[in-house]
Structure 1
Amino acid sequence: MSTMGKYAKRTLLCAVAATLLGTTGAAFAADTKSVAVVAIVEHPALDAIRDGARDELKAEGYEVGKNLKWEYQSAQGNTGTAAQIARKFVGDKPDAIIGIATPTAQAVAAATKSVPLVYSGVTDPVAAQLVKSWDASGTNVTGVSDKLPLDKQVALIKRVVPNAKTVGMVYNPGEANSVVVVKELEKLLPAAGLKLQTAAAPRTVDISSAANSLVGKVDVIYTNTDNNVVSAYESLVKVANDRKIPLVASDTDSVKRGAIAALGINYYDLGRQTGKVVGRILKGEKPGTIASQTSSNLELFVNTAAAAKQGVKLSDDLVKEAKTVIKE
């Protein structure tokens, strides 16, 4: 074989290889799925949902950078920004959008009736008008709620502060999930010999002043998973510590940040549960055939250091029951 013949053969082999690689690349691109994720704000619970969903999708064979395009944006607490992100994501036409927290899920729902929407971290999807009931919606929306049994929350408040008469709550009146919790507490607390005193904090900068407005009026402050409050929880903790007002949360990450106790959902596990729902959609199921879900996996966290700062001595039984005890 002549030198020219060898060169021509190598050229032909390279051309065939390039064709094969191109075909493989095209097949890979065709099989790639895309998931867009939007959260109303960044804080530990919502971040845990995002990370859990991504990890679950990887476990189910969808890996970012290989066969999964994953785009995440935070609205930084701004509902207008959430609407802009929602419209942008809908225009990209992903295989599914994950809306983390009520305001962002609502923004996506308002922007599309066709792109699959999986909400997560939404306390009451029916009250938020994302779905008409907890059954399969028949629409493009399904998801995983972080709704908690409030009777157990009231029982925890009583165990932390047995002599409490008035429960304070700082919340954003513009957040549907918080409004639902306020209304339910107003019904539940009287049966436990308690009453509710609320303080509105429509912005994160309002939290400190709202908390201070409760001083002298309440015996304990309870916080739900209100995104404004949780995103700036340290400002609430400072008031609780300075004024010796016990702080009970529904979000276990808030205990790490200075609340005395919380009986709450593991938000990373909630994210994994959300990822399973997204995986079903990526495999071909319609979101409208998947009923909304909740989590029954509750965990008790206590913070004995926070209790000391806020003037509370926790019972030995309560501390022993806790999955996690924070001592400093």
Structure 2
Amino acid sequence: MKKTKRVISTLCILALSITALTGCGSKGSGKTYKIGVSQTTTHDALDSAYKGFIDGLAEAGYKEGDNIEIDFQNAQGEASNNNTIAAKLVNDNPDLILAIATPAAQSLANLTQDIPIVVTAVTDPADSGIVASNEAPGGNITGTSDLNPVKEQMDLLLQLVPTAKKIAILYCSSEPNSKFQADLASEAATNVGLETVDATVSNTNDIEQVVQSLVGKVDAIYAPTDNTIASGMSTVAMVANSNNMPIICGESGMVMNGGLATYGINYYNLGKQTAAMAVKILTGESKPADMPIEYLEKMDLTINEDVAAQLGITIPDDLKAKMNK
């Protein structure tokens, strides 16, 4: 009889141990969450934001093939594709949707007020009509902004190109995000004594001609975090650098593709911050309506030393010490 009791006790302990281990290896009740992703186009910044999002989810215990399923869609820069992707994702009714960049977010916002949506790489969600206000979104959408420190970027331009008097602000006229940034840049440039001229494109096919038209007319170019310009950055750099027009960029991917420098957003970290917001929504800890739009506090200084050498620009020692390696 004592032996039987001992066996039963051992079996109970084993059962409890297995239950505990099983619980530790999964999130919640073992549900698999479905997440749809709509990315406006392909370039370094947006790709990094997506990677940061996936890695951020994994660090929180949400891994593809384990407890999440991801349907990733890329519009490849075509406006109509954003609408098609939005319709598909909404029809699939996932637990959450990630919208990367403003056009993707706007298309989704027009189709659903029920499915939770987190956005990233959207400069000003309120200005873009995605949320009621950045402080209190009030609906089914929240997320992170890639608003740049435009004042600091203009200061950086003058540190690297102290003789600059007139600059071009290069952006796509059809991107609301970009127009918003261009206005901020124009004001910041004026405040430090720079004259500005807008140089706008409607698509990547316009880039070479527009940049070529600036030769001999401006001392430098400022390009915000514009998806069209980022996608065609190699063309911008080819024309600008060969004609001694340094480019101050909105983000580091553009610098790596031929720009001179930026003081700006780390999109990988922005993606991870967005993932943390998504986890709070999936777990029911928070609702998008009550989650203010978030911003990165830390910015990175990135300088393309090869481009600086090509342009004959000396990088001040204080900037070298702060550079993102």
- More deviation, 310-319/63-72: 310-319
The residue type paired with residue 55 of structure 1 is D
Tell me what 2:302 maps to.
301
Amino acid at match of 1:167: I
Post-superposition offset of 1:301 = 0.9
Contact 2:175-2:226 within 8 A present in 1 as well:
yes
Structure 2 Cα separation of the partners of residues 28 and 314 of structure 1: 52
Q: Which shifted more, 230-239 or 301-310?
A: 301-310
Partner of 2:34: 34
Contact 1:208–1:239 (CA under 8 A) maintained in structure 2:
yes
Which residue in 2 is equivalent to 1:105?
A: 105
For 1:29 and 1:51, the matched residues in 2 are separated by: 26
Alignment match, 2:152: 152
Work out whether residues 118 and 274 of structure 1, in 8 Å CA contact, stay in contact via their aligned partners in 2: yes
Distance in 2, matches of 1:318 and 1:219, equals 21
| 2:120 alignment counterpart | 120
| SS of residue in 2 equivalent to 1:41 | coil
**Counterpart AA for 1:295:** L
Amino acid at match of 1:61: G
- 1:194 and 1:141 map into 2 onto residues whose CA distance is 38
State how 1:1-328 maps to structure 2 within 5 Å. 31-284=31-284, 285-324=286-325
Q: How big is the shift at 1:313?
A: 2.5
Pair 311,201 (structure 1): closer, same or farther in 2 beyond 3 Å: farther
Residue matched to 2:9: none
**C-alpha separation in 1, matches of 2:35 and 2:136:** 21
Structure 1 residue 95, shift from structure 2 partner = 0.9
Displacement of 1:186: 2.3
Kept in 1: contact 2:119–2:143 (CA 8 A): yes
**Partner of 2:263: helix, strand, or coil?**
strand
What secondary structure sits across from 2:110 in the alignment?
Answer: helix
The range that moved more, 302-311 or 268-277, is 302-311
The CA deviation at 1:199 is 1.3
Aligned mates of 1:276, 1:45 — CA distance in 2: 19
Aligned residue identity for 1:75: A
CA RMSD of aligned residues (A): 1.6
Hey, what does 1:7 align to over in structure 2? none
Letter in 2 for 1:290: M
Shift in Å at residue 91 of structure 1?
A: 0.5
Query: Equivalent residue of 2:118, what SS?
Result: strand
The answer to whether the 8 Å contact 2:149/2:264 transfers is: no
Once the two structures are TM-superposed, the CA of residue 71 in structure 1 deviates from its matched residue by 1.1
Stretches of structure 1 lacking an aligned partner (at least 5 in a row): 1-26
Distance in structure 2 (CA, Å) of the matches to 1:190 and 1:53: 36
Q: Provide the rounded CA distance (Å) in 1 between the counterparts of 2:274 and 2:54.
A: 9
Secondary structure at 1:309 match in 2: helix
Name the amino acid aligned to 2:87: R
Shift of 1:52: 0.7
In structure 2, list runs of 5 or more residues that go unmatched: 1-26
Structure 1 residue 30, shift from structure 2 partner: 6.9
Q: Could you tell me whether the CA contact under 8 Å between 1:51 and 1:271 is conserved in 2? A: yes
Aligned CA distance change for structure 1 residues 270 and 111 (closer, same or farther; 3 Å): same
Q: Distance in 2 between matches of 1:220 and 1:43?
A: 23
3-state secondary structure, aligned to 1:38 = strand
Tell me how far 1:187 sits from its aligned partner: 2.0
Identity of aligned residues (%): 36
Amino acid at match of 1:182: A
Aligned to 2:14: none
SS, match of residue 136 in structure 1: coil
Distance (whole Å) between structure 2 residues aligned to residue 316 and residue 133 of structure 1? 41
Quick one: distance in 1 between partners of 2:66 and 2:315?
50
1:316 CA displacement = 2.6
TM (norm. structure 2) is: 0.88
Residue pair 1:259, 1:306 contacting (<8 A) in 2 also = yes
Measured after TM superposition, the shift of residue 205 of structure 1 is 1.4
In the superposition, the TM-score normalised over structure 1's length comes to 0.88
Instruction: Note the C-alpha offset of 1:28.
Output: 10
Shift of 1:319: 2.0
Equivalences, count: 298
Question: How many Å apart are 1:29 and its aligned residue?
Answer: 9.9
